[in-house]
Amino acid sequence: MIYILIASFIGLLSFVIGALAIQSKKLSVAVIATGVVSLFSSILFLLMAAPDVAMTEASIGSGLTTLIYFYVLNKIKKHHA
């Protein structure tokens, strides 16, 4: 029961942060928000007894993807400045 409560709380929180990622005007905030959504979904995978998927999601989804997005964002800013 406590797991269901925690899982639904995290699901709701990631829903809110996902909405923030769509609505925010600053691109860097949106990128960080997508990273946080990935981190929360990795916790959800862990609660659903899939630790290997959680590991992949945490390292690729929230770590590497965020870094690559920031590299691309930096490149775009340089081109348009």
- From the list 2-10, 13-21, 29-37, 72-80, the region that binds another protein by CB under 8 A is 72-80
Beta carbon of residue 27, minimum distance to another protein (angstroms, whole number): 17
Site for another protein (CB under 8 A): how many residues?
15
Question: What mask of x and - would describe binding to another protein in positions 14 to 53, judged by CB under 8 A?
Answer: -------------------------------------xx-
- Tokens 């925010």 found at: 24
